[in-house]
Amino acid sequence: MHTTTLAMNTSLLMIFALLIFPLLTSLSPTPLHKTWAVTHVKTAVKMAFLVSLLPLFIFLNEGAETIISTWHWMNTLVFDINLSFKFDHYSIIFTPIALYVTWSILEFAFWYMHADPNINRFFKYLLLFLIAMITLVTANNMFQLFIGWEGVGIMSFLLIGWWYGRADANTAALQAVIYNRVGDIGLILSMAWFMMNTNSWEIHQMFINSQNLDLTLPLMGLILAATGKSAQFGLHPWLPSAMEGPTPVSALLHSSTMVVAGIFLLIRLHPLMENNQMALTTCLCLGALTTLFTATCALTQNDIKKIVAFSTSSQLGLMMVTIGLNQPQLAFLHICTHAFFKAMLFLCSGSIIHSLNNEQDIRKMGGMHNLAPLTSSCLTIGSLALTGTPFLAGFFSKDAIIEAMNTSHLNAWALVLTLLATSFTAVYSLRVVFFVSMGFPRFNTSSPINENNPLIINPLKRLAWGSIIAGLLITLNLLPSKTPIMTMPPLLKLSALLVSILGLLLALELASLTSKTFKALPNLPLHSFSNMLGFYPSIIHRLTPKLNLILGQKIATQMVDQTWFEKIGPKGVSSINLPMIITTNDVQKGMIKTYLTLFFLTLIMALFISII
């Protein structure tokens, strides 16, 4: 067999084998030893990362992509489902990144969850999640993708509700499941449509068979699925609520890997969307709305993890906008670079939270730059990468997206919203850095702030290196499939940078106002709107269940029970008959002997009359 093929296929299947092996060891009846999490899980992920570099380098060298179809799983007469892995440029680049980020997060999680008695179970859940995510990313058919999709959804539920004694955590986990399920309706609709109209769930066959069909319905289904999984506007409240889970969970699931699954689905199935203007416009407008709305909500939040969660949601909106621009590769580039700096932001927040004795309110932090210099430096690097500072990781993806937006024929409203959201990104990033790192400490001095543990330092350093050079590396090595427009007026070229600097200056001005009071009782309607997340959760989480419960009450209790059973059916019959029975009963006095005597006498009289 050819060396390249052998090397690629072997290493790619080795990744799965390495990741599944710790799960199998955990199935044995003997309890796991205390450092199983480190010796087995983290080592497995590290090994898998190193193994996944081999296909990456082969791809970079030769451009080799591979599809492995191993097993004919099940079939009907006209439809069959296989176990099929697709390692094209998307999966080959994403898998090492996901494994690298996961490796760092697992190392951090061993420090963060050290006092947890169920740490082995935690790591098992994270590993299961990772396997589901890799399955999703490498799926060549919709069935396998759906398995990965549901797998990440369920693991998200289990991990968000890790501290299930807390009512808020249970509510948040339930929210995640319900919102994801609404999105799954769209995915199942699309899968059913494809099964019926293109006779296959294999992605290549779907592309070929659907060339002349009107794809609006399945594409709307796929967009609904992405809305649910990637927290676009309308199905977004679960993502900030998901911050109830431990910080490693937020870093892994809700920043780098799970939430990009919806966008990844759209990227994979992009050839279906290229020619459908309605789907593209929907993506564009939905993404623009999402990115601005969530950036607005992030401006006034006080919980550091919620700010980063909204920032994730905003970047996901940006990715959706990119897909709406017909640029899936840029969206994928943004997914890859975003994974690094977002995971790092979460790890920095986790480090700060733990150092300050579980304080998550940024109004009670401050001065961390002197107390935890490495952490706050990484926070700054992450924030700069997020805002698209030139030549850090985020710049290559974000600037390219904004340039593509400026030079495309698109909806002007979407463009304005996206630029506004870009400036808001700078604002809330500066707000985080200002409240956390700068100024003087606003917390009690009793918590020992010590970041000298290599379990924290090494992940942060690795992710910081990634946030700095990953954008450059990926851009240098990926050939763009669509030609970017190279010439544009200088204002357009610099627009992303200008709005970010504008936002930064505005935020600095606002930050300097924190030490002065202009009004004793300020009028804050806009602040309330932003702080209460646009009142969206307050309205929807109360109105929808109330309407459903009223509907249930009307149908189940009132219509079926009361009306059908009691008024019309059996009880109605008895309630109509009962007064008549009582009346009849009152008439009779039970004097049987008198009645029988009367009967006899009447009989005699009748006989006599008939004789006479």
Partner 1 sequence: MTPVHFSFTAAFTLGLMGLAFHRTHLLSALICLEGMMLSLFIALSLWTLQLEATAFSTAPMLLLAFSACEASAGLALLVATARTHGTDRLQNLNLLQC
- Give the residues lining the site for partner 1 (CB under 8 A): 586, 589-591, 593, 596-597, 599-600, 603
> Smallest distance from the beta carbon of 608 to partner 1, in angstroms?
13
358 or 588, CB closer to partner 1? 588
551 or 598, CB closer to partner 1? 598
Residue that has been written with the tokens 């009142």 in this structure: 535
Give the residues across from 74 on adjacent strands.
Answer: 81
> Which region holds residue 392: left if phi is over 0, alpha if psi is between -120 and 50, else beta?
beta
> Smallest distance from the beta carbon of 569 to partner 1, in angstroms?
31
The sign one gets for the Cα dihedral 496, 502, 505, 509 is negative
The structure tokens listed for 123 are: 């790591």
In whole angstroms, what is the distance from residue 232 CA to residue 266 CA? 13
568 or 596, CB closer to partner 1? 596
How many secondary structure helices (H) and strands (E) does the chain include?
27, 2
> Smallest distance from the beta carbon of 589 to partner 1, in angstroms?
6
517 or 588, CB closer to partner 1? 588
The structure tokens listed for 501 are: 């600097």
> Smallest distance from the beta carbon of 600 to partner 1, in angstroms?
4
> Smallest distance from the beta carbon of 574 to partner 1, in angstroms?
21
- DSSP H helices, 63-166, are 89-112, 119-137, 142-160
163 or 595, CB closer to partner 1? 595
> Smallest distance from the beta carbon of 543 to partner 1, in angstroms?
59
In whole angstroms, what is the distance from residue 564 CA to residue 552 CA? 15
485 or 601, CB closer to partner 1? 601
- For the packed helices 119-137 and 3-25, what is the interaxial angle rounded to 10 degrees? 150
> Smallest distance from the beta carbon of 575 to partner 1, in angstroms?
24
29 or 579, CB closer to partner 1? 579
In whole angstroms, what is the distance from residue 185 CA to residue 224 CA? 8
Q: Closest by alpha carbon to 155, among 169, 175, 178, 173?
A: 173
445 or 584, CB closer to partner 1? 584
550 or 591, CB closer to partner 1? 591
> Smallest distance from the beta carbon of 578 to partner 1, in angstroms?
18
> Smallest distance from the beta carbon of 609 to partner 1, in angstroms?
16
409 or 593, CB closer to partner 1? 593
- DSSP H helices, 199-327, are 203-209, 216-229, 238-241, 247-251, 260-268, 270-273, 277-299, 304-324
C-beta of residue 496 within 8 angstroms of C-beta of residue 388: yes
> Smallest distance from the beta carbon of 598 to partner 1, in angstroms?
8
185 or 596, CB closer to partner 1? 596
Give the residues across from 82 on adjacent strands.
Answer: 72
C-beta of residue 52 within 8 angstroms of C-beta of residue 16: no
In whole angstroms, what is the distance from residue 527 CA to residue 513 CA? 15
- DSSP H helices, 388-453, are 393-406, 412-436
> Smallest distance from the beta carbon of 581 to partner 1, in angstroms?
14
In whole angstroms, what is the distance from residue 456 CA to residue 351 CA? 7
Q: Closest by alpha carbon to 503, among 593, 362, 388, 335?
A: 388
Residue that has been written with the tokens 């998307």 in this structure: 90
The structure tokens listed for 607 are: 């006989």
